[in-house]
Structure 1
Amino acid sequence: MEEKKYSKIYRLIHWAIAISLVLLLVTIFLRLTWMNKTNVANIIQDYLNGTDQVLSQKQLIVLAKKIRQPMWNWHIYIGYVLVGLYSIRFLLPLFGYMRYQNPLRKDLTAKLRFQQWLYIIFYICIIISLATGLMIELGPKSSKELMEEIHVLSIYYLISFIVIHLAGVFIAEFSDQKGIVSRMISGTRDED
């Protein structure tokens, strides 16, 4: 099999997108676990139990949301960065720096065809996530609830894609594409 080479711009975009996606997952994970509004409200309530101050559950939730808002703002900022990175990713082929995937080419093996379709599906899902995220932040308030419902589904395909991607890299590294990780980091294969 021909050894694939990755240009600097390809690797830079790949890793910037990968890091952004991981950071988005961290903010989602924190929001769903430790920084969950109910958990934070309970922590505040536990603290207030030792004082003479009393807040209603509604007030505790409002305070909890305010405490976690700066963390959630990072989710939004990273989303904007990802919009920029994906815009660059889709413009680069126009300048010859990267190429678009074409799973309909006749010369592809079944494995490559599957990989390319997987990436296309992933890109479509990311575009939907980015578009719904932008609509939540910048769009009309009347569509916010629907956009949030669609946007929340992002976590399912994102985690699935990351698992499939890492499994594919692992399999490739230990089969016919040895050195794929080092080529994706440095552009060249480490010699054994």
Structure 2
Amino acid sequence: MALIEPTRHDVQHPSALKRYSFPLRLWHWVNLIVISGSLITVLINSTITDDRATSKLMKDEIQKTGTTLTDNQTQTAAHALSDSVWGVHIYFGYALAALLAFRLILEFFQLADQKFIRKLKSAYRQFNTIKKNREVARHELTVKAIYAIFYALLLVMAITGLFLAFEDALSAYKSIRHSVKEVHGFCMYLILAFILVHLIGVLLAERKNEKGIVSDMINGGNTNN
């Protein structure tokens, strides 16, 4: 579990805390809200507003009033309810795509010591050249590699999600819709796995010698600890 725990200190300057710019912190927390909202809409549509379960519930409840509806009528109403939730999901998807674009643009304007690519290269270089702190460098490299995979998953999710949202305009590629939907759904599970690993890592780090990681992502790492 130690390899998934984030650290507060810079791998090149162990005595210095990592710094997080305000735009990066804003992106982190808004991204959390958007991804959570997106996943919640998926959960709702797979449980509460599932077409089959909802149409049966509608039919049973309406029959109690003495009115009779056909299966087709209740299924149409249930599908409309499900579509309204998917509509919210699509808006979360647009927000996620916008946040990803913002993060990519932000990378070019971050201070040199706060650029993700620079930190990833630095951790890799530290691991390959410095034997004394190899364990620390290996840990940092593993954490950064997991984050890099997360960014790649977000990119795939955004691209496949936009494809599904604009499938009518992309009718020429209708034959690959099912495959794109499968990739989109699979990436969702991988992102869920990342979130779980990330939360476990943060909780473990907070309980050990890296207490203050969450507050650093709020105040930017400006404490004097």
When the two structures are superposed, what TM-score results if normalisation uses the length of structure 2?
0.78
Residues 21, 220 of structure 2: 8 Å contact kept: yes
Tell me, which stretches of 5 or more residues in structure 1 are unaligned? none
Q: Is 1:107–2:148 an aligned residue pair?
A: no
Paired residue secondary structure (1:35): coil
**CA drift at 1:190:** 6.7
RMSD, aligned α-carbons: 2.0
Q: What corresponds to 1:38 in structure 2?
A: 52
Query: Which is bigger in relative contact order (C-alpha 8 A, separation at least 6)?
Result: 2
**CA drift at 1:55:** 1.0
Residues 182, 189 of structure 1: 8 Å contact kept: no
Alignment of 1:24-173 (within 5 A): 24-50=38-64, 51-56=66-71, 58-97=72-111, 98-101=114-117, 102=120, 105-108=124-127, 109-139=137-167, 140-141=170-171, 142=174, 143-173=176-206
Residues 34, 40 of structure 1: 8 Å contact kept: yes
Tell me, which stretches of 5 or more residues in structure 2 are unaligned? 1-13, 128-136
Residues 79, 133 of structure 1: 8 Å contact kept: yes
Residues 13, 89 of structure 1: 8 Å contact kept: yes
When the two structures are superposed, what TM-score results if normalisation uses the length of structure 1?
0.90
The one-letter amino acid of 2:220's match is: G
The one-letter amino acid of 2:83's match is: Q
**CA drift at 1:187:** 2.5
**CA drift at 1:174:** 2.1
Q: 1:10 aligns with which of 24, 32, 56?
A: 24
Q: CA separation in 1, counterparts of 2:39 and 2:69?
A: 35
Residues 17, 221 of structure 2: 8 Å contact kept: no
Residues 18, 221 of structure 2: 8 Å contact kept: no
| Residues 91-141 of structure 1 deviation map (CA, whole Å, 9 limit, x = unaligned) | 112122551232563115111111111111111111111111111112423
Runs of 4+ in 1 over 3 A off after TM superposition: 188-192
Q: What corresponds to 1:179 in structure 2?
A: 212
Q: CA separation in 1, counterparts of 2:73 and 2:154?
A: 36
Paired residues in the alignment total 191
Residues 157, 188 of structure 2: 8 Å contact kept: no
